[in-house]
Amino acid sequence: MFKASGTNLLDLQAEQVSDWLKSFDTIISDGDGTIWFDDTAIEGAVEVLNALQSRAGKKIYLMTNNGLKTRHEIFQRAQKLGIQIPNESHIISPTQTIVDYLKQHKTFDRTKRVYVVGNAAIARELTDAGIESFGAGKAEELQPGDKWQEFVQREFSTPAAAANIGAVVVGWDEYFSYCKLARACHILSSNPDCLFLVTNKDAVHKYPSLHIPGTGAFVAAIETCAERPALEMGKPNPLVLEPLLSTAALQPERTLMIGDCCKVDVTFARNCNMQSLLVGTGSYQLDQLRENPQLPMPDVYLPKLGNLLPYI
Amino acid sequence: MYKQTCTNLLNLSKDEVKAWLDSFDSVITDCDGVLWVYGEPIAGSADAMNNLKTIGKSIYFCTNNSTKTRAELLKKGVDMGYHITENGIISTAHATAAYLKAHNFSKKVYVIGSEGITKELDAVGIAHTTVGPDQMHGSLGEFMSKHLVLEKDIGAVVVGFDEHFSFPKMTKAASYLSDPNCLFIATNTDERFPMPTLVVPGSGSFVRAIQTCAEREPIVIGKPNPAICAPLINQKIIDPSRTLMVGDRANTDVLLGYNCGFQTLLVGTGIHQLSDVAEWKQSKNPEDKKLIPDVYLPRLGDLLPFIVDKATGGSY
């Protein structure tokens, strides 16, 4: 309903909102900026999700692009904030999507290890699934007096440097460096069968006085040198919905995607033929949407998810 | 002559090659992959270039390598036996400093690169940050609240080859570039640094990372941007139709030639081979046609017998 119109639900009659609520059975909600900021719930968001589940009978899934926690750790946060989802399988996160993808991929087997340019959560998720990895959460820098030409000759001239590595996985990495970039490029260019995955391609995270590079920036450097694209294991790649689609756990046309980011959440909804609700608790408010017609327009809008409570 | 046909000069008659030699007065050559590979001279290249000079051609080196100043490139060339002067060297580090100077740049430059860039900035009196390691210390929270220091008078971010590329540098660049008045300049966008046996990142990898998190496009100084040869053309030092561009990488060297109206020669001692040209000839993409050189040689040294023949009038 209200397809791509950016209709503010607060401008509608109660009956119209009620009709809208009946147009979907399943809800997929984003995490950061939609229902929580780190470990703090956004006002009213938890109450709305729980009410949608218990009073309105909707099935609830949480879907995050945050690759800094394992799926289990995200579930623990959800529980701590009082979100009443039945179990862990109602959470879709990049680290779990990566593990699921590797386990079913024909070129990846248990003799292979994974090189991670990213944080330790990726390694934790891989280890839990019995997959060996190296590099996660670690720095790798040129030592004083070491020239880059000597580093690459020393590190990459032996077959061992790229042997038995079945995938390069990229996530957010505050230790990103030339050495890691060079290692990832060497592994990928030595073996065309090596998989190349990234948790998400968020370009940048904007704070008032500074801009922090997103995972998209790290992976762009590797893609440029390796001359191969990385497979995105987060929104807006419709791939992340595959497990729910293949088990018929939901019907896209009767599923609502709730998020705070147009370029990620609304685009994802469009890519999967789902309905979309944009909340204004992230970077986008309604007037910004009106001023920037190139941004994907959600079906409906609310200043914050908590605004929905009186209607449920 | 032979426009965008990739004619192999070794398949032509001696007279045809001599006629081709007469069709240009200036030669601009790439360095890595044509004259040398990393530290090793490519056999025959120095003799070929020196003899082209002897028969009256003016010679220029044009490199996208931002890690050396013109003086350092001159020394490398002279040490390898080339008869070249500093004015005959066109380099991206030098051209970047010249670009800023020409635009009356009076603030400070945040440099992600090497001393090749900072020394050229010093030479024209432009202030800049220091290069070298800038490593992550402590947690992200500590970095954001304590260690990250953003300077107030940065008016440009210049990105070139940097073996100390790091997350802190990316954060600083993205933050400076959030001001639309801050210039974003890339010395070049070569995806890989030429190395004989290994695939290693080039400036293009670093530039793409900054492009992504700054959400901005850079001004690219080096090949194939024709601006790098603009001074020579505008001051009528060279005539484009009578200038030959020699290179090993089509998307920088040959494309520069196309963009400037030069003749082009591709050599097979570097990045691109005849098999790549065959693909571009088949391609339906008009952009790929710009990558097809006029003529080809396996290596620059193959030209030597024809030049000597010309110089000696066919007799010793």
- A89-143 confidence digits (pLDDT tens): 999 999 999 999 999 999 898 889 999 999 999 999 999 999 999 999 999 999 9
Closest-CA distance of chain A to residue B214, Å: 7
Show which of A232, A249, A269 is a domain's final residue: A232
| pLDDT band of B272, cuts 50, 70, 90 | very high
* Dihedral, CA of residue A68, residue A72, residue A76 and residue A79, to nearest 10: 120
Q: Based on the domain organization, do A50 and A150 belong to the same domain? A: no
Q: What CA–CA distance (Å, rounded) separates B125 from B103?
A: 13
pLDDT of amino acid B314: 65
Amino acid at residue number B252: T
**Would you say residue A289 has pLDDT above 90?**
no
Task: Give the max Cα distance, chain B.
Answer: 76
Please report how the helices B203-214 and B167-176 are oriented relative to each other, as an axis angle in degrees rounded to 10: 50
Pick from A230-239, A253-262, A278-287, B118-127: least confident: A278-287
Distance CA B48, CA B34 (A): 11
- Confidence check: pLDDT of B316 > 60: no
Contact A243, A100 (CB under 8 A): yes
Cβ-based contacts of B202 with chain A (< 8 Å): 225
**From A279-293, B119-133, B173-187, B247-261, the region with the lowest mean pLDDT:** A279-293
Phi/psi class of residue A196: alpha, beta or left (left: φ > 0; alpha: ψ in -120 to 50)?
beta
Residues A228 and A252 in one domain: no
pLDDT, mean over chain A: 95
Chain A residues in contact with B140 by the CB 8 A cut-off are 174
Do A258 and A301 meet the contact criterion of CB atoms below 8 Å apart?
Answer: no
* Chain B residues closer than 8 Å to A206 by CB: 178
Chain A residues touching residue B165 (CB < 8 angstroms): 177-178, 181, 221
> Is A260 part of any known ligand binding site?
yes
- For residue A270, give the DSSP letter: H
Question: Which among A25, A30, A38, A128 is annotated as catalytic?
Answer: A30
Residue B315: predicted pLDDT: 56
Q: Taking CB atoms and an 8 Å cutoff, what residues of chain A touch B204? A: 224-225
- Between CA B51 and CA B45 the distance in angstroms is 10
Question: What is the DSSP-derived secondary structure letter of residue A181?
Answer: H
C-alpha A204/C-alpha A202 separation (Å) is 6
- Min mean pLDDT across A18-22, A72-76, B270-274 is at B270-274
B213/A223 Cβ within 8 A: no
Beta carbons of B42 and B269 less than 8 angstroms apart:
yes
Alpha-carbon span A142 to B111, nearest angstrom: 19
Identify the H or E element spanning B295: strand B295-297
Q: Which of B161, B195, B198 to mutate to test the interface with A (most CBs of A within 10 A)?
A: B198
Q: Looking at A214, A232, A250, which one is the last position of a domain?
A: A232
Q: Do B174 and A211 touch (CB under 8 A)?
A: yes
User: Which residues in chain B have their CB less than 8 angstroms from residue A194's CB?
Assistant: none
Give the residue extent of every domain in chain B. 7-64+238-311, 94-220
Q: How far is A208 from chain B (nearest CA, A)?
A: 10
The answer on whether A205 is annotated among ligand-binding residues is yes
Q: Does the pLDDT of residue B107 top 90, yes or no? A: yes
- Please tell me the predicted confidence (pLDDT) of residue A58: 97
Rg (CA), chain A: 21
The number of distinct structural domains making up chain A is 2
Tell me if B170 and A149 make a contact (CB, 8 A cut-off): no
Cβ-defined contact of B204 to A225 (cutoff 8 Å):
yes
- Please report whether residue A83 resides in a domain: no
Residue A306 covered by a domain: yes
Band (pLDDT 50/70/90 cuts) for residue A288 is: confident
The answer as to whether A259 is a domain residue is yes
Q: With 80 as the cut, is the pLDDT of residue A4 above it?
A: yes
Catalytic residue among B15, B25, B32, B47: B32
Can you tell me the distance from the alpha carbon of B207 to that of B173, in angstroms, rounded to the nearest whole number? 11
Q: Within this chain, do residues A57 and A145 fall inside the same structural domain, yes or no?
A: no
Residues A208 and A259 in one domain: no
| Predicted local confidence at residue A208, as pLDDT | 82
A193 annotated ligand binder: no
CATH of domain B94-220: 3.40.50.1000
Report the alpha-carbon angle B273-B278-B281, nearest 5.
130
pLDDT band at B38 (very low <50, low <70, confident <90, very high): confident
Rounded to two decimals, the ipTM of the complex is 0.91
**A217 touches B: beta carbon within 8 Å:** yes
Whether the Cβ atoms of residue A256 and residue A26 lie closer than 8 Å to each other: yes
Residues A218, A104 within the same domain: yes
Residues A112 and A145 placed together within one structural domain of the fold: yes
State pLDDT tens for residues A59-88: 999 999 999 999 999 999 999 999 999 999
pLDDT, one tens digit per residue, over B2-16 is 999 999 999 999 999
> How far apart, in Å, are the Cα atoms of A148 and each of A179, B165, B254?
8, 11, 29
Average pLDDT of chain B?
94
Alpha-carbon distance A109 to A166, whole Å? Answer: 8
Amino acid A50 reads N
Answer with the one of A232, A253, A268 that is the final residue of a domain.
Answer: A232
DSSP state at residue A144: T
Q: Do B213 and A203 touch (CB under 8 A)?
A: yes
Euclidean distance between CA atoms A301 and A260, whole angstroms: 10
Could you say which of A11, A19, A25, A32 is catalytic?
Answer: A32
CA distances from B102 to B65, B95, B98, B177, B231 (A): 21, 10, 6, 21, 11
* Active-site choice (B15, B22, B30, B122): B30
User: Angle A241-A244-A246 (CA atoms, 0-180°, nearest 5)?
Assistant: 100
Best residue of A147, A175, A201, A204 to probe chain B, by most B CBs closer than 10 Å: A204
The larger pLDDT score, comparing residue A293 to residue A277, is at A277
Q: Which among A61, A74, A177 has a CA at the least distance from the CA of A121?
A: A74
CA A251 remoteness from chain centre: 21
Query: What residues make up the domain containing A23?
Result: 7-65+236-311
Find the DSSP H helices in chain B.
Answer: 14-21, 45-54, 70-79, 92-102, 115-123, 140-142, 167-176, 203-214, 230-234, 255-260, 274-282, 286-289, 304-312
The owner of tokens 């529980």 is A79
Q: Is there a contact between A225 and B143 if contact means CB atoms under 8 Å apart?
A: no
Structure tokens at A290: 């009106």
- Across the interface, of B133, B167, B200, the residue whose CB is closest to A173 is B167
Superfamily for the B7-64+238-311 domain: HAD superfamily/HAD-like (3.40.50.1000)
Residue A269: partners with Cβ closer than 8 Å, 6 or more residues away: A257, A259, A275, A276, A298
Where residue A279 falls among pLDDT bands split at 50, 70, 90? very high
pLDDT one-digit tens code per residue, A202-219: 999 888 889 999 999 999
Provide the whole-model pTM.
0.92
Chain-centroid distance of CA B17 in Å reads: 27
- pLDDT computed for residue A225 by the predictor: 96
CATH of the domain at A133: 3.40.50.1000
* Contact check, Cβ <8 Å, B213/A189: no
At B11 the three-state DSSP class reads helix
Report the C-alpha gap between B81 and B47 in whole angstroms: 8
**Residue ranges at the known binding site of B for Mg(2+):** 30, 32, 248
Q: Length of chain A, please?
A: 312
- For chain B, say whether A80 makes contact (Cβ under 8 Å): no
- Which pair of structure tokens corresponds to residue A202? 């968020």
Closest of B212, B168, B166 to residue B186, by C-alpha: B212
Nearest beta carbon to residue A178 from set B165, B177, B191: B165
Select from B212, B217, B276 the residue whose CB has the most chain A CBs within 10 Å, as the one to mutate to test that interface: B212
- Assigned domain for A87 exists: no
Token pair listed for B54: 């002897």
B30 catalytic residue (yes or no): yes
Do A99 and A225 share a domain, yes or no?
A: yes
B contact set with A (CB within 8 A): 38, 133, 135-136, 140, 143-144, 148, 150, 162-167, 170-171, 174-175, 177-178, 191-192, 195, 197-202, 204-206, 208-215
